Amino acid sequence: MQKVNMHEAKTHLSRLVEQAAKGEPFVIAKAGKPMVKVVAIDAPTSAPIRRLGFMAGQIAVPDDFDRLGKDEIEQLFGLGK
């Protein structure tokens, strides 16, 4: 993301606003400290971040999970004995 100082923002405001409107947000800094972020009004918000393993320890998979319903499935497909 582009970071511009206050003086540069004043000098090139029209160009910077056009860039922001096209989806290129920028930050205006004063004395090197970021002060504001300029983004387009209709800019899409980012989707929530999906975390891998966010339910760790909250669910348990039975040891025979891959055999659950085996008999019924074999009957449905005519594989039963």
- Does some domain include residue 32? yes
Q: Which two tokens mark 50? A: 């999906």
At 27, which CATH number? 3.40.1620.10
- Does some domain include residue 21? yes
pLDDT tens figures, 48-72 = 888 888 888 898 888 999 999 999 9
Q: Give the domain extent around 22.
A: 2-38
- Does some domain include residue 72? no
- Does some domain include residue 77? no
Domains contained in the chain, number: 1
- Between 32 and 43, the more confident residue is 32
Give me the pLDDT at residue 18, please. 93
- Does some domain include residue 19? yes
